[in-house]
Structure 1
Amino acid sequence: MDILFERRFELLWPTLTEIRLILKHVLRALNVKKDEVDAAGLVTTEYLTNLIRHNQGSEHQILLRISQPSSDSYILTFIDELAPYNLFKNNNSSWKIDSGKLVEGGMGVELIRYYFKDADYITKNGKNFFSFPLEQIDRRPTIIYVDDDVTQLALMSAYLNDKFQVIACESIESGWQAILTADASILLLDHKLKNGTCEPLLEKLNKSNLKSQLSVVMLTGDDSDEVIHKINRLGVDDYLIKPIKKNKLLQSIERVTHRFAYLSYQTTFESAPSKIHLQDEKTAHIFGSISLGNGGDFFMPINDECSAFILGDMMGHGLQALKESFAIKGFISGFLATGLPYQKMLVALNNAIYKQQLCKSSLVTLVIFFLKNNKIYWLNAGHPPPVVLRKTGEICQLKGTGPLLGLAQDHSYTLYEAALDNVEHILLYTDGWTENRFTDKDEICELTKIIPLDKHAHAEFANTLWENSQVTLSKEIDDASLIVIN
């Protein structure tokens, strides 16, 4: 049996986020179908959550292994040397998969068996092996094809179906949704549509960091210099003049995809600690992208007393957003070395972005947060304001948001404040934490659905809230980060 991937991790809460991210990238690279990748993420989350809970406070490691027993299947295995904890024998919950209810710690066996009936847990030679097979493999690359001519959609699908998974889209709107969710490697576009062209879709794509993941081939019936010049300016990798023969189309697709022949996934980023002790005997519990340092979300402690920090969010996600965040963090670090007040730093950063000295191809929101004398203070540039959970159980989003950085020169940002009387927990997060779960809904109303109901110790509350907020891997369209202060 070939071992395709193997890595050892500390058995800590931030590891859950890191392993989910690795599964998302590695399993998709191994051509595991999206639904099974999502199922693997759910089952892994449930299993590791139980394992971490039952070994809280102890220093242990766990090994993730992905092996290939045959050409059409993989096995995902977690190996540890802990006291055996057989989830199948120890979980006696009556929870059912179709109940629609979220039950802390009670979903394990039913959830695992629902998705992977052949999952297994054995103890051998002092080691525990939890494993399940992955069998929904489709090695065909995915193509998104956008054309509002139904006949052409059917014809192209027939041309390509042997070698590719084809997602046919009749509008640029459905094409954009497919780009966000389908994990495709090729975008095939018909230039001329009945109500315009596909140029708005390409312009939107070029403003995001998703372009680096796609090879773009344009089909056009107009070979005039003006049209070809316009197509090239939009950054397509190749274009074909209609009518198109099957062999020419396949040659074009093969040619442009060679640019993306190999993309290695690495987690060699600067990680943040899982928690930081703040003033007034409070602790910040850190989750998500900022705990791994692998995307556009960033976290920066900004004073020696550990009472102040910055939470930021670059537009987009992944490596491109990460690169943009480096520039922002470098500017902030340099300015803070001068010892000038935070408000002046924010004014200077706003002016640098306004003059396009930074972030020429992206946008950034950030909040500067600090504690003093049982009060919280924050400066806010387009970021979600803090949410507080009062001891009475009330959830309240505080008022206090300034404009995005770079919209106007010399803007002076307001310093907001709130007393901590009767406050149990403070939440700060990036947009992705809510947008991955829902859009166009009342944020506070949705948060009430995932807030742990039972009384928890502060660390357990934070860990449970993060666990409750996880979505299926394919819905993670943006970096998501959460800070819980209590």
Structure 2
Amino acid sequence: MNVTLFQQTLKGPICLDAISLCRQALQLQLPNFAVPTELQQKMLLCLSEVLTNFYRYAQDITQVGVQLQATDTGWQLSIEDDGAAFSPTEHADDQVLLNFSEQENGRGLAIITSVSDQQHYQSTGRSNCLILTWQRQLNVKPTLLLVEDNASLLALYRAYLNQTYRIVTAQDGEQALEKLQQIEIDLVVSDIRMPNMSGLTLRKKIACLKGSAMMPFIFLTAADDELVQQQANGLGIDDYLLKPISKKQLCRSVERVLERNLQVYQQLSHRIEQDISASLQPDLPTELQGWRCQVASRNTGLGGGDLLTYKRFPAMTQLVLADIMGHDDSAKFFSHACCGFIHGLMQSLSAQQQANQILQQVSHFALSDQVLSKVTLTACSIQLSPHGMIDIASAGHPAPLLVCADKAVPIDITGVMPGLLPHAHYDVLQMQVLPGQRLAFYTDGLFESATDDVGRAKLQHALVKALKSTLCLPIDKAMVEVMQVFDEITCRKPSDDALLMLIEPSQA
């Protein structure tokens, strides 16, 4: 049975203010519905992109209905309109959809399919309805492998543990090894003295299995033998219980070992994340090919990361700025792999390549490569030449700002996000930046690192104002003042990684 959690109607023609208010209303309600934070962001993104496409391309719409429902298996977002039918769920090689996705920089219809689990579109002639669904992730119990040759004890231990854990059983070591290669196991609980293969031998063989060397392990034995216990401890086990074993003993031991293993994993992950984050810190010379440069960043240590890399040639300097997205435990590792790939591409570049070619290569591999296809990113390719000449290509990246006099004007350069479309093409914008002008390149965390839409609007207004008011200052001092504004508004706790690069011609 579906339960309606949120419902709102927008009257046409659709305007940006109405879109913003609808998004804010849903954002305020989502935390009350037990929707995971990551899914909340995906729902808000999909809502914003669909409504923004209505605003841009479907001015014939007079009414839009938005409804969020809880289903037996997850959540369902329905967006109904009374305009002309256009299905964003058609196959990816449909030329209309490809053109549409190119127009919207890959941030609209194409990306909706990548952040929702299922999409369904239906049209009755009088109205159209796009239905997006997300599956609820069930709480998965840890899986334990019980290894015991005594059938009665095996049944007893299973009864002790099966309410809290998923139980897999084996009656000897050979059966246990077969189960380990078929099923993902979180903890092994094994008797020591068994026919065919002892628990000690089983532990040694598990240590040789790929990916199982650190498998948590508890030994059970009826023999209070000091030599056996020494042998067991020498194999790196986590606990050693003497039979007879009570339910309380066994449950406490399993809980303690799993908790300790989780703590070790989290500590190692945190240490690796810190090392990776440190390796992603941007490093840029203050002078490049007749340009003065400054870069500053703020790193949350969560999820993906921001990358800035460059390569000098005699007549120009190639730079790539990328924002690698993600918020789960694996995102930082995939971002590191992506950064390594982009660094490798940069080293293979020749001075004859244009600014868009590296983006085409990144997009190709982001679509086809087994590792890079797990990464969502935006990127901007920049070529700096003397006398203020610059070439820019964008792959879904935020538009840079040209700061001059009392204005900060977005540069009109767009392109589809890498990996969304086959054979993606990127345009190159060539321009000259004059003395007294400055360019600001950034990742979206610079303007998005606030907790709500009001905060984001305040942050963006304050940063743009700071960019304009500091144009008269040396570029290094301007950077310091702009980032001070960022730190004050975000209270030095940004919600996303943020990077800002300021450049200006140093030659008259």
**TM-score, length basis structure 1:** 0.46
**TM-score, length basis structure 2:** 0.45
